[in-house]
Structure 1
Amino acid sequence: MSRPGTTEQRSLAHWAEDGRAGMEAFYALAIEDYRQMVAARDWAADLRGHAAEGRVRVLDVACGSGKFPAELQRRGLAEAVAGTRVEIDLLDPSPFSIAEARSVLAAPFAVRAEHEVRIQDLPTGVGAFDVAWATHALYAVPPEEIGAGIARMVGAQRPGGFGAIVHATSASHYLRFAEAFRTTFAPGSVPFTSAGQVRAALAAAGVAPAVTTLRYDVGNADRATVEGFLQRCVFDDSVPLERMEAEGGVGAYLAGCHDGDGYRFSQVVDVITWEVAA
């Protein structure tokens, strides 16, 4: 049987020291997500273009382990925004995640504040951000609450502020595997939120997003790493790879992802950006 609890609860349980091995297996493949999204646009220009008096305030929604700002740092963000102070607020319901993200941040980022809450629960007094982003961060938000979460994210931005959400579409591995796993092993669990639902929520919040779609593959031949990656994809380490390969919709899905030497998974990811009306 699949581990009980809502998707949000299982996600939170995995963002803990006990889940570090699974997290490392996950990022052995998922680090490509961050490489692709950082290469997809000029994020330094987004930050510089929304700064005021040499400072830009950023809200990192569901900051996770800080892989997105870390990749920006690795790609030379400090030099690209030289002269601009990037003050970042870390938001996540997991104190472990906030600590992990803080530990990897370096110039040009300076942590201004921490918010140990879900985005839909962020107090309304917190706001006026120049930039707000959520990168592969909102899958576990219940579909019936994504509207409230997106509305609060947009509401936390100043007029003229820039927003970005990077999120897998229903054609991507993350959503396809999660749905196959749900129907095979956890029929009572809450589905993941898709990029299409995020876009609809943004429209309901009164912004007109622009969308760029990224397509790329991630893969690995080591079975233990693949198992950890897949388990982390659904925040459930109760089903070993051998069972996944043998049962139901998950088995059929994985059969189509085997490339002879190992597994290769196709990602179709939307980079969704907007400007808040001034």
Structure 2
Amino acid sequence: MSQQGTTEQRSLAHWAEDGRAGMEAFYALAIEDYRQMVAARDWAADLRGHAAEGRVRVLDVACGSGKFPAELTRRGLADAVGGTRVEIDLLDPSPFSIAEARSVLDAPFGVRAEHEARIQDLPTGVGGFDVAWATHALYAIPPDEIGAATARMVAALRPGGFGAIVHATAASHYLRFAGAFRTTFAPAAVPFTGAGQVREALASASVVPAVATLRYEVGHADRAVVEGFLQRCVFDDSVSLERMESEGAVGAYLAGCLDGDGYRFSQVVDVITWEVAA
């Protein structure tokens, strides 16, 4: 795929069956994102603490392929929440993503509803959630729409509800590589949205969040996997790893990420959480 259409459009095109190989290459490294964020806090306590009458209603914003709830389950969430039912609404503009997320959910999660929409387009009648989260999910939202997106997410929570956005900072591989790629190969592309813009948008929605920053590395020695990962990072599979290594700002960036026979990429990620006033 070439750099045609907006970042959102290119992202959506990659969340499809034709993009499965790229998705699998991406998650060969990106699965570490979910391991790190699940280990970063007591998510079971967040769910239990916002449950009512034995259940907690969750909105999974831009649910993708369901890696976050799947990792929570793998780490023993069912035992940790006791008998609390976790009723989840899956929201994503991609029907492929919704189907993928649904297919990996296991106890204690049960799908309550599905919304084929962007968060900023979610109907105002949908709300009252106890918990809403967006985990590595908002990069492709245009910077001039992140305010509307985060405001809608906040509004979807009930009074006393809990929100969480996990998002890479400007110092992270995702944002640094996307910026270098845009400079080198796609100057007309819409920039990715970073964690700083998310925090500013939340402040505009009268939210004062808590922020914890995670630092870790991901890497791989297989060049085909690295190529697929990098292409998926920018939703563009038209530029080979060889071209990336040899041209402009991308080449300079990748030269700094070499690690023996492979590559290692540094991630700096904010876990941004808040509670709506009761």
Q: Same fold (TM over 0.5)?
A: yes
Alignment TM class, shorter chain as reference: over 0.9
CA contact (8 A) 1:180 1:249 kept: yes
Write the distance in 1 (CA, Å) between the matches of 2:16 and 2:7.
Answer: 15
User: What's the counterpart of residue 9 of structure 1?
Assistant: 9
Write the distance in 1 (CA, Å) between the matches of 2:204 and 2:268.
Answer: 24
What do residues 206-249 of structure 1 show as CA deviations (whole Å, max 9, x unaligned)?
A: 11100000000000000000000000000000000000000000
Q: Tell me, yes or no, if structure 1 residue 49 matches structure 2 residue 49.
A: yes
What do residues 48-105 of structure 1 show as CA deviations (whole Å, max 9, x unaligned)?
A: 0000000100000000000000000000000001110000000000000000000000
What do residues 157-196 of structure 1 show as CA deviations (whole Å, max 9, x unaligned)?
A: 0000000000000000000000000010000000000000
The Cα of 1:3 is off from its aligned counterpart by 2.3
Amino acid corresponding to residue 101 of structure 1 in structure 2 = A
User: Secondary structure at the residue paired with 1:218?
Assistant: strand
User: What's the counterpart of residue 258 of structure 1?
Assistant: 258
CA contact (8 A) 1:2 1:186 kept: no
User: What's the counterpart of residue 248 of structure 1?
Assistant: 248
Matches within 5 A, 1:1-278: 2-278=2-278
Write the distance in 2 (CA, Å) between the matches of 1:80 and 1:123.
Answer: 33
CA contact (8 A) 1:141 1:192 kept: yes
The Cα of 1:264 is off from its aligned counterpart by 0.2
Amino acid corresponding to residue 77 of structure 1 in structure 2 = L
Amino acid corresponding to residue 5 of structure 2 in structure 1 = G
Write the distance in 2 (CA, Å) between the matches of 1:109 and 1:19.
Answer: 26
Write the distance in 2 (CA, Å) between the matches of 1:5 and 1:89.
Answer: 29
Write the distance in 1 (CA, Å) between the matches of 2:74 and 2:32.
Answer: 13
CA contact (8 A) 2:177 2:253 kept: yes
CA contact (8 A) 1:6 1:190 kept: yes
What is the total number of aligned residue pairs between the two structures? 278
CA contact (8 A) 1:129 1:158 kept: yes
What do residues 15-63 of structure 1 show as CA deviations (whole Å, max 9, x unaligned)?
A: 0000000000000000000000000000000000000000100000000
Write the distance in 2 (CA, Å) between the matches of 1:232 and 1:107.
Answer: 30
For normalisation by structure 2, the TM-score amounts to 0.99
Amino acid corresponding to residue 114 of structure 1 in structure 2 = E
CA contact (8 A) 2:212 2:271 kept: yes
CA contact (8 A) 2:22 2:228 kept: yes
Runs of 4+ in 1 over 6 A off after TM superposition: none
Structure 1, gaps ≥5 residues long? none
Write the distance in 2 (CA, Å) between the matches of 1:128 and 1:207.
Answer: 17
Amino acid corresponding to residue 184 of structure 1 in structure 2 = T
CA contact (8 A) 1:92 1:118 kept: yes
The Cα of 1:2 is off from its aligned counterpart by 4.2
The Cα of 1:261 is off from its aligned counterpart by 1.9
CA contact (8 A) 1:59 1:129 kept: yes
CA contact (8 A) 2:3 2:189 kept: no
User: Secondary structure at the residue paired with 1:202?
Assistant: helix
Write the distance in 2 (CA, Å) between the matches of 1:150 and 1:277.
Answer: 16
CA contact (8 A) 1:2 1:185 kept: no
Give the CA RMSD over aligned residues: 0.7
User: Secondary structure at the residue paired with 2:258?
Assistant: coil
